């Protein structure tokens, strides 16, 4: 899954590579971008080291780290990242997205997160989780557009959002449709 490029209407989600660090350092260099996600902009060298760790994969064999850069096809530029931490044999995925401030407000995060969630569901994820700062209205809108709903759980100061999909029935098993009768 992580080695696959995902295409949406305007974007390519390209598997993260250490070679993306230089361009991504410029995309993520606005200190205001880190108001809700914490930390500070990383230098190209520090981001390269981070991408090397991510590319090496999770030290836990039961956990898959999947990371993509978001490329806007119209100009070929990188605009941000999406990521998923996949557990429980692929059934649960925790997702996150970051779009550089210069590209915000164009629906890029919404489209990228939707593409990521679609890929995860296609590969068997049944529970998708995101954590959104309670004051980050734009990120909450992205989570909602991706089909997630806020829960009453707050973890590390962020609201836990979830989406649950039921697995399809096995082949040959009829679906029972329930309807309201008046």
Closest by CA position to 69, among listed 6, 147, 140: 6
What string of pLDDT tens digits covers the 182 residues of the chain? Answer: 667 899 999 999 999 999 999 999 999 999 999 888 889 999 999 999 999 999 999 999 999 999 999 999 999 999 999 999 999 999 999 999 999 999 999 999 999 999 999 999 999 999 999 999 999 999 999 999 999 999 999 999 999 999 998 766 667 766 555 444 44
- Find all residues with CB under 8 Å of 114, minimum gap 6, and list them: 8, 145, 146
Q: Which parts of the chain are beta strand (E)?
A: 6-7, 11-15, 64-72, 77-87, 92-99, 127-132, 149-155, 158-164
Q: Using CB atoms within 10 A of its CB, is residue 71 exposed (0-12), middle (13-18) or buried (19+)? A: buried
pTM for the model stands at: 0.89
């Amino acid at each position: 899954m992580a080695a696959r490029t995902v295409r949406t209407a305007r974007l390519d989600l390209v598997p993260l590579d250490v070679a993306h660090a230089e361009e991504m350092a410029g995309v993520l260099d606005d200190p205001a971008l880190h108001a809700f996600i914490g930390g500070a902009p990383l230098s190209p060298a520090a981001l390269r080291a981070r991408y090397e760790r991510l590319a090496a994969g999770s030290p836990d064999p039961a956990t898959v780290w999947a990371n993509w850069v978001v490329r806007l096809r119209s100009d070929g530029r990188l605009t941000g990242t999406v990521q998923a931490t996949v557990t429980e044999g692929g059934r649960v995925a925790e997702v996150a997205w970051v779009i550089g401030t210069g590209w915000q407000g164009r629906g890029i995060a919404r489209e990228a997160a939707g593409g990521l969630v679609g890929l995860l569901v296609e590969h068997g994820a049944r529970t998708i989780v995101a954590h959104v700062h309670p004051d980050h209205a734009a990120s909450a809108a992205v989570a909602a557009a991706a089909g997630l709903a806020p829960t009453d759980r707050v973890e590390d100061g962020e609201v836990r959002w979830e989406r649950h999909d039921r697995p399809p029935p096995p082949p040959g098993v009829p679906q029972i449709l329930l309807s309201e009768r008046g």
